[in-house]
């Protein structure tokens, strides 16, 4: 090869690599509640996966159905090949899949499972989620353990269980929590459930307030909810009604959403939180999608993430740091 041809070949190769950088794989990551550190953590680790594996992550907040369907159009128009989604409403599943299929986008669900028109889980769509029942059981066990440690009289103790039963993962967590408490010997008749209208602190606070006033004789409260914000709303309600931190035990789920609360200068009724693996959820879900898009390797229909650690005021810094959070 003469020098000229060599230079030509080299510049062609350079051009090709620039060209392929331009055509980098694009994948969406759509979440229902971007204000929750849980979802910010998923986003951050999805982006880490993108850096490690060479694809671009397009993060879009989808708080409702309209924004979700628009986001899918935006992704397709921008050349994305698929997306990971935690849907704002499981019932949107059929509409999301119809749109994604019509635009040729692959879909992986994270955290919350789609349901079809009949309310049955759409088991055909790949899903990565936490082990909801086990997580709930752990919440119940930790509450019971801490109640024993404080030597509370069970007779004077009530369970405030804030539910969100239309979301399957939430129902399984709170059901698990209540059954673990009963299994440990807590009287079923002292467990009071109340549904929250919205899965945030204000919604849970309202729900809890309406329940607390109905039980003026309860001296100590154990607070159950599907995630940190629900439990935080419950704890705020107990404070509003004059309960001291020493008479309230709340154990949340998510961990990352409890960081501010656990770092307060004095203890509150929010005792601790189960920290599962938002880092794994974010990284793995988009990795599965990437392998599907890039290598045609279809993901498993169901992936369950099981590990969780209880973080309290004593260990939260270390435990979060261990996970790079």
Q: Under the rule (CB under 6 A), what is the footprint of ligand GLA?
A: 36, 38, 86, 111-112, 129-130, 169, 199, 227, 253-254
* CB of residue 280 to ligand GLA, shortest distance in Å: 11
Question: 237 near 203, Cβ under 8 Å?
Answer: no
CA–CA separation, 134 vs 131, rounded Å? 6
* CB of residue 184 to ligand GLA, shortest distance in Å: 24
Phi-psi region of 321 (alpha: psi -120 to 50; beta: other; left: phi over 0): alpha
Nearer to ligand GLA, 87 or 157 (CB): 87
Nearer to ligand GLA, 203 or 269 (CB): 203
Nearer to ligand GLA, 38 or 152 (CB): 38
Residue nearest to ligand GLA (CB): 111
* Rg of the Cα atoms in the chain: 23
Nearer to ligand GLA, 46 or 129 (CB): 129
Residue-wise burial string across 229-266, b where 16 or more C-beta atoms lie within 10 A, e elsewhere:
bbbbbbbbbbeeeebebebbbbbbbbbbbbbebbeeee
| Helix ranges restricted to H, the chain | 3-22, 37-53, 65-77, 93-103, 132-149, 168-184, 201-212, 228-240, 259-262, 278-295, 316-322
Nearer to ligand GLA, 280 or 294 (CB): 280
* CB of residue 44 to ligand GLA, shortest distance in Å: 15
* CB of residue 207 to ligand GLA, shortest distance in Å: 15
Nearer to ligand GLA, 226 or 249 (CB): 226
* CB of residue 255 to ligand GLA, shortest distance in Å: 10
Nearer to ligand GLA, 25 or 261 (CB): 261
CA–CA separation, 206 vs 191, rounded Å? 18
Query: Which whole-number Å values give the CA distances from 208 to 156, 163, 172, 250, 309, in the listed order?
Result: 18, 10, 20, 12, 26
* CB of residue 227 to ligand GLA, shortest distance in Å: 4
DSSP-derived 3-state class of residue 56: strand
* CB of residue 201 to ligand GLA, shortest distance in Å: 12
């Amino acid at each position: 090869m003469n020098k000229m041809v060599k230079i030509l070949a080299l510049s062609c190769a350079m051009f090709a690599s620039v060209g392929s950088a331009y055509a980098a794989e694009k994948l969406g990551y759509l979440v229902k509640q971007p204000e929750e550190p849980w979802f910010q953590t998923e986003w951050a680790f999805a982006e880490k996966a993108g850096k490690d594996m060479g694809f671009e992550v397009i993060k879009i907040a989808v708080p409702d159905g309209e924004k979700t369907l628009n986001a899918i159009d935006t992704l397709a128009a921008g050349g994305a090949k698929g997306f990971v989604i935690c849907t704002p409403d499981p019932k949107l599943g059929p509409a999301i899949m119809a749109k994604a299929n019509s635009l040729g986008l692959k879909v992986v669900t994270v955290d919350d499972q789609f349901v079809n028109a009949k309310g049955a889980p759409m088991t055909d769509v790949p899903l990565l989620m936490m082990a909801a029942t086990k997580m709930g059981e752990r919440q119940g066990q930790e509450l019971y353990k801490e109640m024993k440690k404080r030597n509370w009289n069970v007779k004077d103790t009530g369970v405030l269980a804030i539910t969100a039963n239309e979301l399957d993962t939430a129902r399984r967590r709170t059901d698990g929590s209540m059954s673990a408490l009963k299994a440990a010997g807590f009287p079923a008749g002292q467990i009071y459930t109340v549904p929250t209208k919205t899965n945030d602190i204000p919604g849970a606070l309202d729900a809890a307030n309406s329940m607390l006033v109905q039980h003026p004789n309860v001296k100590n409260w154990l607070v159950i909810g599907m995630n940190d914000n629900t439990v935080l709303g419950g704890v705020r309600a107990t404070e509003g009604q004059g309960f001291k931190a020493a008479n309230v035990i709340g154990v949340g789920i998510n961990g990352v959403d409890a960081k501010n609360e656990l770092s307060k200068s004095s203890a509150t009724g929010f005792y601790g939180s189960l920290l599962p693996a938002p880092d794994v959820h974010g990284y793995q879900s988009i990795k599965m999608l990437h392998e599907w898009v890039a290598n045609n390797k279809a993901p498993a229909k169901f992936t369950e993430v099981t590990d969780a650690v209880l973080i309290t005021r004593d260990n939260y810094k270390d435990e979060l740091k261990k996970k790079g959070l």
